[in-house]
């Protein structure tokens, strides 16, 4: 008997030396209030069990024990009504009932001296009572039951169907619609690669999972993308697995996400047994990205035309491809940042742009910069809704670094005459360069037209300083034929013919 007591004492010490922690920030970010008012710390031996577990004396443990100081305050995690208040020494507890569109959920606060009355209404973050002395160390027993409150075997040992550790993982609406608890839990933080997901990219989500139940888990696991409001969008990948009891294994989920539009999403890990519904996998104290961006990726490098001088004009281009089956509508921009990455200004914002399904579209940006010489960066970005998202680099670089140079006396003089040269190469497929010179600071427009007089591309539209420039034109999305490029520079107008031969 003494050996058994010593074993349990040693177990309690060892498991608390490696606790599971859910930070206050992660709880509040999901819309809850922490029941202890601080980060939640539990341990392996005394957290949620979905089956008989020896280290808990062979009985159910239908909740988590969170460390709390004797006499410290306990708070309601959400709005609700106090269903039960019972005073029974250190076994005192109270139950708060919350309702949702799918039914009723009961939150059980154990080892608590209640300061609220049965039948009273409580709000999220409201004080419910204080911690009583029970065992060592002192703690709050926190349990969750869905559908019907069942206290047949005591409030701490009646089999429950929701794992409280989900608090740091899902929003209240998602949590209250959970119909079963997960048997798996995270055994590592979730790693997303690249950090900025790319449409048509090599996207990966990697994580280690551990089977916390006492039997082999056979079924499916998924890393899914949800919208910020919690609604499901798509599975990144579904894997069929078999994981023995207490086994830990790493998994990688991959997907090109070709048919998703740029926007903000979040990653959700979930499991489904051979017979059953999808259930969120509890984070077990590890981090899961609460917000992640998905963007187009570059289909050409960000290219600066010519040299950028102080008080001069910068011209740059880049292209993206829409891999989705639907047309994208939104804004594109090229932003100037300092060498340390701080935003300075937008070179140009091209609003209300459309990129059709499977279309590769090039964008040209031009602006006179009043910046001193030095090192800078250019960042390509796209706007969806009200949010700007950096465009993925793909096989190129975003951002790119460049220097603004001080003009020499020769450069200050600039060209004497306005000129528009023949494009080269010509014929071309699918890219060519257009070279021109302007003798003074002026507004410049450079457009491309087909033989019907329809404008098919706008290459430049804005103020430029005196100088000689080369502008790339990418006709990958156009059919073979004759095209005309036309320039307006102040009062100067010129037009030339070029041939696209695919």
Quick one: CA torsion of 329, 330, 333, 338, rounded to 10 degrees? -140
User: What tens digit of pLDDT does each residue of 36-87 get?
Assistant: 888 777 764 455 554 433 344 445 567 778 888 999 999 998 888 999 999 8
- Looking at the DSSP assignment, which residues form a beta bridge with residue 203? 255
pLDDT at position 155 is 62
Query: Does 238 or 39 have the greater pLDDT score?
Result: 238
**What backbone torsions phi and psi does residue 5 show, to the nearest 5 degrees?**
-60, -45
What integer pLDDT is reported at residue 468 of this predicted model? 80
Give the residue ranges of DSSP H helices in 87-209.
Answer: 172-176
Percent of the chain exceeding pLDDT 70 equals 80
Rounded distance between C-alpha atoms, residue 17 and residue 21, angstroms: 12
Among the residue ranges 164-168, 203-207, 435-439, the one predicted with the least confidence is 164-168
The answer to whether the CB of 392 falls within 8 A of the CB of 295 is: yes
Could you tell me the pTM of the whole model? Answer: 0.55
pLDDT at 420: 93
Contact 394, 256 (CB under 8 A): no
Share of the chain above pLDDT 90, in %: 43
pLDDT of residue 255: 95
Between 400 and 90, whose confidence is greater? Answer: 400
Q: What topology is assigned to 296-408 in CATH?
A: Immunoglobulin-like (2.60.40)
pLDDT for position 308: 86
Phi-psi sector, 453: left (phi>0), alpha (psi -120 to 50), beta: left
Q: By three-state DSSP, how is residue 54 classified?
A: helix
Q: Is the pLDDT of residue 169 over 60?
A: no
The pLDDT value recorded for residue 407 is 60
Please name the helix (run of DSSP H) or strand (run of DSSP E) that holds residue 463, with its range, or none. Answer: strand 455-464
More confident residue, 206 or 124: 206
Higher pLDDT, 208 or 443: 208
Q: Tell me: pLDDT of 332 over 90.
A: yes
d(CA 322, CA 328): 7
Q: Report how far residue 426's alpha carbon sits from residue 414's, in angstroms, rounded to the nearest whole number.
A: 27
- DSSP assignment of 431-456 equals EEEEEEEESSSEEEEEEEE-TTS-EE
Contact 341, 333 (CB under 8 A): no
End-to-end CA distance of the chain: 87
Superfamily designation of domain 414-502? Macroglobulin (MG2) domain (2.60.40.1930)
475-482 average pLDDT score: 92
Domain limits of the chain? 2-176, 184-295, 296-408, 414-502
Determine the average pLDDT of the residues in 421-437. 90
CATH of domain 184-295: 2.60.40.10
> How far is it, in rounded angstroms, from Cα 466 to Cα 316?
17
Comparison of pLDDT for 487 and 471, the residue scoring more = 487
What confidence score (pLDDT) does residue 333 get?
A: 94
Helical H segments across 17-162, by residue range: 24-29
**pLDDT at residue 452 above 50?**
yes
Higher-confidence residue of 129 and 462: namely: 129
Parallel, antiparallel or unpaired: strands 197-198 and 292-295: parallel
What is the pLDDT of the chain when averaged over all its residues? 81
What is the distance between the alpha carbons of residues 118 and 326, in angstroms, rounded to a whole number? 55
Residue 12: pLDDT over 60: no
pLDDT band at 172 (very low <50, low <70, confident <90, very high): low
The reply to whether 414-502 shares the fold of 184-295 is yes
Superfamily of domain 2-176: Glucose Permease (Domain IIA) (2.70.70.10)
Give the best-scoring range by mean pLDDT among 80-94, 152-166, 273-287.
80-94
**Distance in angstroms (rounded) separating the CA atoms of residues 194 and 472:** 29
Nearest by Cα to 199 from 132, 282, 262: 262
Model pLDDT, residue 421 = 92
Closest Cα partner for 142 from 107, 106, 101? 107
More confident site: 394 or 58? 394
* Two tokens, residue 463: 């103020």
Mean pLDDT of 165-185: 53
Q: Mean pLDDT lowest for which of 151-160, 388-397, 419-428, 492-501?
A: 151-160
> Tens digit of pLDDT for each residue in 295-327?
999 999 999 887 888 878 888 999 999 999 999
Residues in the chain, total = 502
Secondary structure class of 409 (helix, strand, coil): helix
Q: Quote the strand ranges of 102-216, DSSP E.
A: 103-110, 112-114, 121-122, 127-131, 139-146, 184-186, 191-193, 197-198, 203-211
Q: For position 147, what pLDDT does the model report?
A: 75
Instruction: Check residues 386 and 208 and name the one with the higher pLDDT.
Output: 208
CB-CB contact of 30 with 170 (8 Å): yes
Strand blocks (E) in 147-187: 184-186
pLDDT tens, residue by residue, 274-290: 877 787 887 766 778 87
Query: What is the predicted pLDDT for the residue at 400?
Result: 96
Q: Which residue has the higher pLDDT, 54 or 401?
A: 401
How far is it, in rounded angstroms, from Cα 76 to Cα 159?
22
């Amino acid at each position: 008997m003494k050996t058994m007591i010593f074993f349990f004492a040693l177990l309690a010490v060892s498991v608390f030396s490696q606790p599971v922690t859910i930070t206050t920030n992660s709880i509040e970010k999901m819309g809850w209030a922490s029941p202890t008012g601080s980060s939640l710390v539990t341990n392996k031996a005394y957290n949620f069990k979905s089956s008989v577990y020896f280290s808990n004396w062979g009985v159910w443990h239908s909740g988590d024990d969170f460390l709390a100081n004797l006499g410290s305050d306990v708070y309601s995690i959400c709005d609700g009504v106090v269903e039960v208040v019972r005073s029974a020494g250190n076994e005192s507890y109270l139950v708060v009932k919350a309702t949702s569109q799918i039914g009723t959920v009961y939150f059980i606060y154990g080892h608590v001296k209640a300061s609220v009355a049965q039948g009273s209404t409580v709000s999220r973050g409201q004080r419910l009572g204080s911690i009583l002395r029970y065992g060592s160390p002192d703690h709050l027993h926190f349990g969750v039951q869905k559908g019907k409150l069942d206290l047949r075997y005591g409030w701490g040992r009646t089999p429950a169907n929701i794992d409280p550790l989900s608090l740091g993982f899902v929003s209240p609406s998602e949590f209250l619609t959970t119909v079963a608890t997960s048997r798996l839990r995270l055994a590592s933080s979730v790693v997303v690669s690249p950090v900025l997901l790319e449409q048509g990219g090599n996207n990966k989500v990697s994580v280690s999972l551990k089977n916390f139940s006492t039997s082999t888990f056979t079924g499916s696991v998924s890393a899914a993308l949800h919208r910020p409001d919690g609604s499901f969008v798509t599975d990144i990948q579904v894997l069929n697995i078999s994981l023995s009891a207490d086994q830990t294994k790493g998994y990688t989920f991959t997907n090109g996400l070709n048919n998703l539009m740029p926007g903000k999403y979040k990653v959700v890990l979930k499991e489904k047994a051979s017979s059953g519904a999808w259930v969120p996998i509890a984070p077990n104290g590890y981090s899961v990205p609460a917000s992640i961006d998905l963007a187009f990726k570059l289909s050409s490098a960000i290219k600066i035309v010519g040299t950028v001088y102080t008080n001069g004009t910068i011209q740059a281009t880049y292209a993206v491809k829409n891999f989705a089956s639907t047309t994208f509508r939104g804004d594109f921009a090229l932003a100037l940042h300092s060498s340390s990455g701080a935003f300075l200004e937008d070179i140009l914002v091209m609003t209300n742009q459309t990129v059709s399904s499977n279309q590769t579209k090039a964008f040209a940006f031009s602006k006179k910069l009043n910046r001193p010489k030095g090192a800078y960066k250019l960042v390509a970005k796209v706007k969806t809704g009200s949010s700007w998202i950096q465009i993925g680099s793909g096989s190129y670089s975003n951002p790119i670094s460049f220097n603004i140079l001080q003009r020499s006396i020769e450069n200050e003089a600039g060209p004497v005459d306005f000129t528009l040269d023949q494009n080269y190469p010509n014929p071309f497929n699918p890219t060519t360069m257009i070279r021109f010179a302007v003798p003074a600071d002026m507004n410049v427009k450079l457009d491309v037209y087909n033989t019907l007089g329809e404008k098919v591309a706008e290459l430049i539209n804005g103020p430029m300083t005196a100088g000689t420039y080369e502008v790339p034109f990418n006709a990958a999305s156009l059919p073979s034929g004759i095209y005309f490029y036309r320039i307006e520079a102040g009062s100067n107008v010129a037009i030339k013919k070029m041939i696209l031969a695919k």
